[in-house]
Structure 1
Amino acid sequence: MTEQHHIKLPEGSIEKQTTTLNVGPTHPATHGVFQNIMELDGERIVSAESTVGYIHRAFEKIAERRPLYQITPLTDRLNYCSSPINNMGWHITCEKLLGVQTPKRVDYLRIIIMELARISDHLICNSIVGVDTGAYTGFLYVMQYRELIYEIYEEVCGSRLTTNIGRIGGFERNFTNTAFAKLEKFLNEYPKVLKEFENLFTRNRIFMERTIGGGAISAERALSYGFTGPNLRAAGVDYDVRVHSPYSSYQDFAFIIPVGKTGDNYDRFLVRNEEMWQSLSIIEQAYKKVQEFKGREANVYHADTPEYYLPEKKDVYTKMEALIWHFKIVMGEVDMPKGEVYQSVEGGNGELGFYLISDGGRAPFRLHFRRPCFIYYQAYPELVTGSMLSDAIVTMSSLNLIAGEMDG
């Protein structure tokens, strides 16, 4: 929808005309259901106003009527490009409230899954930036390897996109040899593909001209908005939750935090590419550590927390006590301790936080999701004002704005 306006200028001047354009909520370029009302002078953006809430699902209020396990599927539907990180973050939050200590093998298996999810998130983001600058080949190429990641998810938990993966205290079952074989296949094949993907874009003159200088933000402005994740690191700030507030034994791993300088679309692209290399390194380290466990420890995949860990299905079918505990946990008949906790994880696009208040009941008294996309989107009008309309689309992609996470 467009609407024309006339700007009144001093007497004797030529009257100037601007156009109001709705980019979204139903527009393929927005990559989600959200709206940008842009005032255009030709193709240059004079001002912009962003609107969210088109798919608001009131997850935080819904969670106040649900036991802990029934909240996990809600987290899947935030940033669905890397849903296992959301799941793990929620379970780690619950464990913090419940005082559950997870075994090292569980931590390492979680790191493998979370870093696979980070790669999946980044390859989608960067390949879509390529599509929005007119290069479709890179997207088609790397998407085959997102499929390999999804096959690993499927082998571990039976799901692919919205995974509901894991449990409070660990995983629902041990990783199979097939899962590890698929992981090895990915680790062997993806580095070559990632290198070719970088060769397609990194020094490509057209891509550089479309991204360098676009959507730039300074470190000071990024911090004042509350930026985290790759978008903050691209502006030159080396904040990473995995390093500054380690969880799931991330302190046991060696990796680099890539940072940029200008905070523009090109730097965000480069930071995410380098983070994929770092994630591959972390996965290889974690897989090696998992292989070092022998004997009984090699079969540990959850903590000893019977009040919240679902019994194995074969026991539920054959043992009355297991059936009772399964019913009590699924129906939320176990009271949680009173407490107030905040736990954050390094999500695919920034610090994903869970602020949980318990009054001792069977569901949270209050629950708040810190959604990084919602924070980035506040800066979007500032980032695109003065740029061309086509560049505003590239900026939207490079911020990795996910509508499901924005609306919550």
Structure 2
Amino acid sequence: MRDFINEVTVLSQTVLHGHAYNGQALDPLGRFLVQTTLRHYFWLDSVVQTILDKPLQKKHQDLKLLLILGISATEFLNQPIYTSVNAAVETTKKLKKPWAKGLVNASLRTFQRTRQAVINEIHSEVALTNHPLWILDRIQADWPGQKADIIVANNDPAPMILRVNAAKQTRDAYQSLLAAKDLIATPCRLSRDGLILDQAVAVSDLPGFDEGCVSVQDSGAQLAAQLLQPKPFERVLDACSAPGSKSCHLLELVPTLDLVSVDIDPDRLTRVSENFTRLGATADLRCLDLARPQPELGTFDQILLDTPCSASGVIRRHPDIKLLRRPEDLATLIETQRQLLTQCWSLLRPGGSLLYVTCSIFSEENEDNLVWFLANHHDV
């Protein structure tokens, strides 16, 4: 019988231990369930708090996560409700808490009987929007007219977006290859190389993926290489480059670039190397901390600085950000961003371009940093 033990384990890594979501140990159903649970976590948590007569003890937080997953399964999985309830009940054995079978069964069935009444008791903005209060406050401050739309977008699963390798074929030609395999895709409005799949598929199902004909990359991220507009034979630095998507895109657009791809994390730099190998591209890979002076790198005609940030702009693809990120993280991130800006500026040749990129929607990490930079660098 199906159970949710693997899902409880993976969810606990994020909720209880503060690790980024990693669904490699899950089957497709399990990945969908955990990602959906993370997306709606604050509402699901409120539901569980409402249906329990009293809070579970701290040592039984695994049972709370099981109940949250059980509610999520009954709400969002395309399967009979009793199947989800039975899977949750079965999981109590794997948790070595068979005494909790009755509690889990009764709680989930109580929710089914009184669902609307339970939902009507939930009034918290945090629960109803599935965002922590500090993120809501910053969205309100920075985007007051778009707050509602941003929240809706964040809670909507992101589509699978492809970047066609322009060095190998046109976007229209690759779209036809997809259609021949009954894979429907529409052109991105933001990126001239992007295609949005109607339904996500395994990369092994994408024609020519292993040969570097196509990659998976969000359309906004595809803009970076297009905005930089590098010219043939220019020396270009991709700072903070892992996992290498933007470096690869730069080389697809201009194969003759003298590209240096840098990241501080050696494990993540391995992913850059793997992506280069798949695309048949070559570049100078360096493991360096660009927040510190690195004069041995020399100077560059163009620099792409995709800086570490709060990732508040990619919540729909990474809903665990809502649980992992804390407001106190911003001060450290902003300090790092400004250090990177300063050091990368020192590596730029006269007349060159530095493109500053984040995946944040907070002004503190974007406009405020540029105001600071211009105030402190009068040679811009």
- TM norm. shorter chain > 0.5: no
TM (norm. structure 1) is 0.27
- TM-score, normalised to structure 2, is 0.29
